[in-house]
Amino acid sequence: MNISLQKNEFVNYLRLLLINSFPDNHSSQLTNNYLQSLVEDTLDKIEYCFKNIRLKYYNTDNKISFNHLNSDHMCIFLCYMGQVGYQYDYEEILLNKISYLNKILHGLDVWFNVKLPDVLLMVHPIGTVIGNASFSDFIEIHHNVTIGSSFSDMVYPSFGKGICLYPNSSVIGKCNIGDNVTFGINSSIIDSNIPSNKRVLGQHPNNRIIDAKINVVDEYFGHAK
């Protein structure tokens, strides 16, 4: 994978981002050595993710690229960095800062303990909030998307493979979503099930469910098998 900075430079870049964003005693004690393995493991996840995205700036002619100045790239990186750190029991104060940094830089609210899929595409996700749902691979998430629980029972949605959530769409509560489902702009569902190969239009409770016009995996992702 082609990386815009050398790995050691990128580690130091992240350390400085954390120190400057959170100038407390804990951040000032962060070292490159402490972050090195976490960054390398996260870059491995990024490489796997990006090789499955069939879009310019990610994977062109099987040449995978990660650019620290591409905000969508960095947004996904910080999501995975928090997730990897949580998996390997890094200090919770660091994990909180990683998630908070993603919110500061990209306007994305998703915490480190949310288990995101291994193949994930974020498209300028400003204002997006992602709760502790169940995800499958090949999901595309745009800006102002909300994925969360209903206040009454704290049950989160479950998503199949090949999902696209366009801007201002919301999936709330006990929702079982099949494979290859697209949520149109300004659509919302609450405590609803959607079968595979459908497009969701309109707002709850007056949704229209029509046949899908595209196959999400074929359109945006590769190596789906």
Other C-beta atoms closer than 10 Å to the C-beta of 109 total: 18
Looking at the structure, do residues 137 and 207 belong to the same domain, yes or no?
yes
212 three-class SS: coil
Contact, 75 vs 122, CB < 8 A?
yes
Which residue type, as a one-letter code, is found at position 84? V
pLDDT of 224 above 70: no
What's residue 225's pLDDT? 39
Tokens at 46, concatenated: 């990024």
Res 223 pLDDT > 60: no
149 and 189 co-located in one domain: yes
Domain annotation covers residue 79? yes
Q: Residues 171, 141: one domain?
A: yes
Residue 58: band (very low, low, confident or very high) from pLDDT cuts 50, 70, 90: very high
For the record, the structure tokens of 32 come out as 């490159």
Residue 117 within a domain: no
Same domain, 61 and 128: no
Alpha carbons 161 and 19: distance in angstroms, whole number: 38
Q: Does 115 fall in a domain?
A: no
Give residue-wise pLDDT tens across range 89-112. Answer: 999 999 999 999 999 999 999 999
pLDDT above 90: residue 60: no
Phi/psi at 194 (5° precision): -125, 120
Peptide bond into 205 cis (omega under 30): yes
- Do residue 101 and residue 138 come from a single domain? no
Q: Do 93 and 140 belong together in one domain? A: no
Q: Quick check: is 81 in a domain?
A: yes
Q: Which two tokens stand for residue 3?
A: 């990386």
What average pLDDT does the chain have? 95
pLDDT for residue 54 is more than 90: no
Q: Which two tokens stand for residue 140?
A: 């595309």
Q: Does residue 222 fall inside a structural domain?
A: no
Q: Is the dihedral angle over the CA atoms 23, 26, 31, 32 positive or is it negative? A: negative
What's residue 119's pLDDT?
97
Same domain? 145 vs 171: yes
Query: pTM of the predicted model, to two decimals?
Result: 0.95
Reading the block at residue 13, the tokens are 């870049």
154: domain CATH number is 2.160.10.10
Closest CA to 123 of 168, 85, 158, 86: 168
